[in-house]
Structure 1
Amino acid sequence: MGHVHHRHAFESLNPLVPEGLTVLSRRNLLKSSLAGMAGISLPGLLRQKALANRTGGSSPSGKSIILLWMTGGPSHIDTLDPKPDRPIENRGPFGTISTKLPGVRVCEYLPKLAGMLDRFTVIRSVDARGSNHEPNTVFQTANRTAEPRENREASLYPAIASVVAKHHGANQPGMPPYVAFMKSRSHLAFGGYLGKAYDPFIADTAAKLPLVDVVGKPTGRTSQGDIFRLAKGLSYERMQDRRSLASQFDSLRRDLDTNGSMALMDRYEQEAVDMLVGGRMQAAFDLSKEPQSVRDRYGSHLWCQQALIARRLVEAGSTFVTLDLSYHPASGTWDTHGDNIPRMAASGTGYARCYPPSII
């Protein structure tokens, strides 16, 4: 019976072609295995970024974005567009206050925003038609067809942040370009067809933060922030030893490399190791390095501390940070289904669980 040859993914490495004095099974194993070893996603991302810069792609400009994503959002007539001159049936029950922008008034419960209105822009042209209760991916991709309830391919559309990660990258080496705090996967858009390399770095376990229940009530506990903690017995030196071993494996296929990419990969593997266990990224998530006066200014609320970390991340070199400001993993904290107006006493319903705690 003749031998039937089936095509496979490693043919480009010629695994079945003898090269000098070889042990076929071992050589084949190493050559096939190393095809995946060199494709590790994080070094690959760093390499792609450097290649884009060399071939005329965009270079980091230092600009960054922090997206406060409320997974729904408050009613415009109860916040920044209160319509004080309209009858009660056309507006909310709250009073209004003047702002730093002459002639513009906002809800009485937004005094700090009112004092800074001359420094930012209120966009009044956002169109949510067709989002069908899931505006997360629609808005975060700027694509109306990215609607998972109506389009099975909605997850293929990349987040704006993922596009930034691909074409701009991080502003500083050793930092992820796209970072997100996530309560539920349905609250974020991901890399889509750009690939998982451009998904957000999920930061929930990277910092010690207050833990709250699904209505925002503090539990008295904090997260461990242990994503950077090495496994027991695995030191930084041991990780470097493992990388050294990987480099020795890489030498087996250098003779097959005609464009120098394997030599470059050494550098990007090092950057990947430094990103995970080096000091820059860990320091950005460590709020204890922030002066107590600044921490007090932001406040102890979960969302406030996430905002402070977001500021530290962009200062350290991340480009796009999204904060999923919700407590509930399903439809989101701001999805009040009609119970919008808070009973300002202690019921904790409607906006009472969303507005800053200091004003409730």
Structure 2
Amino acid sequence: MKSLDRRDLLHVGCSTLFGLTLPRIMSAATNASNGAKPKSVILVLQSGGCPQMDSFDPKPDGPSETKGEFGAIQTKTPGMLFSDQLPHLAKVSDKFAIVRTMAHGDNRHLSATHHALTGVAQVFRGNANEDKELSRLDRPSYGSALEYLRPSVNGLPSQVTAPLPLIEGPLTWPGQHSGFLGPKFDPWIINSDPSTDEFKVDGVQLIDGMTTSRLKNRKGLLEDLNSQKRSLDRLARKQQFTSQQDVAFNLLTSGKLTGACDIHAESDELRDRYGRNKYGQTLLLARRMVENGVPFVQANMGHVQSWDTHAENFPRLKGHLLPGVDQGVSALITDLEERGLIDDVLIVVVGEFGRSPRISTLPNATVPGRDHWAYVYSALFAGGGVRGGQVIG
């Protein structure tokens, strides 16, 4: 049997979402489609776990302890029912496929997120019951592995994550960077809310008074200094730092990333269509990124565990979680279609797992919710050659 080297393992890991599930899903989803192959991916991450029974897989005839407070509505696709909290997506159901049989066996947030963002289950050493946060032992994220396998040559990063990294207190969720590949391949993280008037991306714009010419002169001086330092210090860390300087310099001088981030260039009408909130404007920013040549964008729908609805499941879903995704994702799909880009971009909407069918109330809580449930949940796939109007599972 042929042994696998690191590059082979990256190919295996990055071709999957939760192991070997995605190739089979995509084979079914693209059956009889136009054969398009996507150039970019937008991963719309519902961190915490979206309740499938209150979104894409309602059970209106189920018992009261499972069906919940929401009703079900008929979508544009005959026989496909959605929660009544998703009216915008229901109107464009012919443009995407719903997979209702996503599954794995890990009900822990951190390790399940690593699985979702890298395609590989997290390896535990020691106590397997302890949460394992971000480390350089992680497998690389999809975009980081892409940068390693096919380095970017257009002055743009291979992966952009927005609007915030997944961090809660002292814990940083694993799977968000390049892992064992090292920081050279880390994604670019936008640590700012694109729905605010003050939105800008720090670090990709020249400061006042600094011209491209002056910056190039400084880079030349820095290269001279680095050359002298190398004669004294041959450590790989120094060489890696130099490559990171080159990446930062290219981002600053090309202006491409700055232009892609200029969400204020969009019309008020289009920004309104996406929704003037963090979810909608993050998805609009994601469209600008792929339109400008970024191959992988991770659009986080809220902060870490926003969708972790152990308590107040129905008020939180109705108040902002589902409306933001409903309006934003439907606008993203129609916007890409209107621009002739829908076949070039694969959109995946998913969490690290789903929520339990049975409704329960936590001790000391007054409003019920749903617990973690990795055994069956739903995901949305659109664009990239996916045949719309399908329910798989």
Offset of 1:268 from its aligned partner? 11
* Mapped partners of 1:168, 1:325: distance in 2: 28
Q: Where does residue 7 of structure 1 map in the other structure? A: none
Is 1:298 aligned to 2:274, yes or no? Answer: yes
* Mapped partners of 1:268, 1:333: distance in 2: 33
Query: Once structures 1 and 2 are overlaid, which stretch shifts more, 317-326 or 144-153?
Result: 144-153
Alpha-carbon deviations, 1:302-335, whole Å to 9, x = none?
11111111100011010111122224x5xx2111
Is 1:334 aligned to 2:334, yes or no? Answer: no
* Mapped partners of 1:193, 1:292: distance in 2: 43
TM-score of the aligned structures, taking structure 1 as reference length: 0.64
* Mapped partners of 2:214, 2:223: distance in 1: 14
Give runs of aligned pairs for residues 228-239 of structure 1, distance below 5 A: 228-231=204-207, 233-239=209-215
Count the aligned residue pairs. 269
Q: CA RMSD in A?
A: 3.5
* Mapped partners of 1:208, 1:113: distance in 2: 23
TM-score of the aligned structures, taking structure 2 as reference length: 0.59
* Mapped partners of 1:138, 1:279: distance in 2: 34
Q: Where does residue 318 of structure 1 map in the other structure? A: 294
**Could you list the runs of 5+ residues in structure 2 that have no partner in the other structure?**
1-36, 230-241, 328-393
Offset of 1:244 from its aligned partner? 2.8
Is 1:179 aligned to 2:160, yes or no? Answer: yes
Q: Where does residue 63 of structure 1 map in the other structure? A: 39
* Mapped partners of 1:324, 1:353: distance in 2: 14
Is 1:85 aligned to 2:61, yes or no? Answer: yes
Alpha-carbon deviations, 1:271-310, whole Å to 9, x = none?
7523224321111000122223222211211111111111
The 3-state SS of whatever aligns with 2:154 is coil
* Mapped partners of 1:143, 1:267: distance in 2: 28
Highest RCO, 1 vs 2 (Cα 8 Å, sep ≥ 6): 2
* Cα pair 1:158 1:194 within 8 Å, conserved: yes
Is 1:189 aligned to 2:176, yes or no? Answer: yes
* Mapped partners of 1:270, 1:64: distance in 2: 24
| Amino acid paired to 1:173 | N
Is 1:354 aligned to 2:321, yes or no? Answer: yes
* Mapped partners of 2:317, 2:90: distance in 1: 22
Is 1:126 aligned to 2:102, yes or no? Answer: yes
Instruction: Please identify the structure whose Cα radius of gyration is greater.
Output: 1
Q: Where does residue 84 of structure 2 map in the other structure? A: 108
The 3-state SS of whatever aligns with 2:53 is helix
Alpha-carbon deviations, 1:78-111, whole Å to 9, x = none?
1110022323223122111111222111111111
* Mapped partners of 1:105, 1:85: distance in 2: 12
Greater share of residues in strand: 2
**Could you list the runs of 5+ residues in structure 1 that have no partner in the other structure?**
1-60, 211-220, 254-265, 343-348
* Cα pair 1:141 1:158 within 8 Å, conserved: yes
CA shift in 2, pair 1:151/1:159, >3 Å: same
